[in-house]
Amino acid sequence: MKALPDAEVCIVGTGLMGTSLAKALRGYVRRLVGSDLSAVNRAAAAPSFDALYTDLTPLANADLIVLAIPVRAILSLLGKLPTIPVKAGALILDIGGTKTDITAAMNRLPETVFAIGGHPMCGKETSGPGDADGGLFVGCTFVLCPTERTTSDALTVARALVEVIRARAILLDPTTHDRAIAAISHLPYLVSASLVGAVMELAEETPAAWELAASGFRDTSRLAVSDVKMKGDALLTNRTAVIAALNALRTEIDMLHALLTSSDDVALREKMESVRTARNTWAERAERTGKQP
């Protein structure tokens, strides 16, 4: 397996994440090529790559293949991989938002290629290579999920990539990753989307709601503008964990509903204090470990 500085890297999907990765890898790999079905994406991504393709032919020469497309597109590509020309000894890394299905598909790959699951915990609500940013990964946690097709050399290359883009690698099994992500990424999205849906409904009767909405609404609803295709794929490939997370959320909302209905001042404030403390503890720990945020 080629070391990262000697590798030809092919990034499949030159949207926001793929092109940001290309910018971050520039100068640290031998050659950077991209593949994207969209002519618009290719045009905007062009300055960040040595060459761009509309099909998967560059996979034949790549030492490292990064899949930066929605989760179900990754699954479809992994399923077709045995029929696509790929260099023997190539390493495949995906950066999809859920890992159980993807790592299972990686386990079924031919023995001539290697594979590891990845998930950089960063992003923007915008999509498309026009907003790509080589600094996007700096300080962020980059989960690596080793598979049956991950050798120690493969892990070394993946770790080198994470280091070059200045992220922080942590190893997790895919089930733990998907449960954690359901709680701290998919649930925040659903909470944000539900909030906007509820305000749409309430503003029918009280249009002033939109007028008064300020920074509190802005931040809490920010994730609702996430890319629908990316996020929809992530939710639908993580259904069990997401539904469990939604159930935990419903329990919390029902509790707050009951405390407000009964005007239980003391218990309401206790609940409010407990979430306040937990959120502060998280933020202080994140700051102490030098992690974003």
Q: Which is nearer to a copy of itself, 35 or 237 (CB)?
A: 237
Interaction of residue 171 with a copy of itself, rule CB under 8 A? no
CB of 54 to a copy of itself, least distance (A): 25
Out of 10, 105, 132, 242, point to the residue binding a copy of itself (CB under 8 A).
242
Rounded to the nearest whole angstrom, what is the least distance from the CB of residue 229 to a copy of itself in the complex?
8
User: Which of 151, 139, 70 minimizes the C-alpha distance to 109?
Assistant: 151
Interaction residues for a copy of itself, span 204-223 (CB under 8 A): 205-206, 208-223
Stretch binding a copy of itself (CB under 8 A), from 48-56, 77-85, 148-156, 171-179: 171-179
Interface residue with a copy of itself, options 122, 158, 160, 165 (CB under 8 A): 122
* Residue 123 touching a copy of itself (CB under 8 A): yes
By CB under 8 A, tell whether 170 contacts a copy of itself. yes
- Residue 46 binding a copy of itself, by CB under 8 A: no
Q: Is 285 a binder of a copy of itself (CB under 8 A)?
A: yes
Handedness of CA 80, 83, 86, 91 (dihedral sign): positive
Candidates 30, 253, 288, 290; binder of a copy of itself (CB under 8 A) is 253
Rounded Cα gap, residues 130 and 113, in angstroms: 32
Q: Which of 2, 23, 149, 179 forms a contact with a copy of itself (CB under 8 A)? A: 179
User: How many residues bind to a copy of itself according to rule CB under 8 A?
Assistant: 98
CA dihedral 168, 152, 95, 117 (to 10 degrees): -120
Q: What would you measure as the largest C-alpha separation in the chain, in angstroms?
A: 67
Q: Is 22 helix (H, G, I), strand (E, B) or coil?
A: helix
Residue 80 tokens read as 């077709």
For the chain, the helix, strand and coil percentages under 3-state DSSP, each to the nearest 5:
60, 15, 30
DSSP code for 88: T
**Closest CB to a copy of itself among residues 23, 168:** 168
Residue ranges in 126-165 that form contacts with a copy of itself under rule CB under 8 A: 140-141, 143
Check residue 84 for interaction with a copy of itself (CB under 8 A). Answer: no
Written as six digits, the tokens of 37 are 């079905």
Q: What is d(CA 204, CA 193) in angstroms, rounded to the nearest whole number?
A: 17
Nearest to 47 by CA among 26, 28, 76, 65: 26
In the sheet that holds 114-120, the strands lie side by side as 51-53, 31-35, 8-12, 64-67, 91-94, 114-120, 141-146, 168-171
266 class by beta-carbon count within 10 Å (0-12 exposed, 13-18 middle, 19+ buried): exposed
Considering beta carbons, is residue 93 or 190 the nearer one to a copy of itself?
190
CB closer to a copy of itself, 47 vs 197: 197
Among 99, 255, 288, 290, binds a copy of itself (CB under 8 A): 255
Stretch that binds a copy of itself, among 31-39, 109-117, 155-163, 283-291 (CB under 8 A): 283-291
> Contact region for a copy of itself (CB under 8 A) — 17-25, 45-53, 54-62, 180-188?
180-188
Q: Which of 107, 273, 288, 290 binds a copy of itself (CB under 8 A)?
A: 273
* Token pair listed for 292: 């974003």
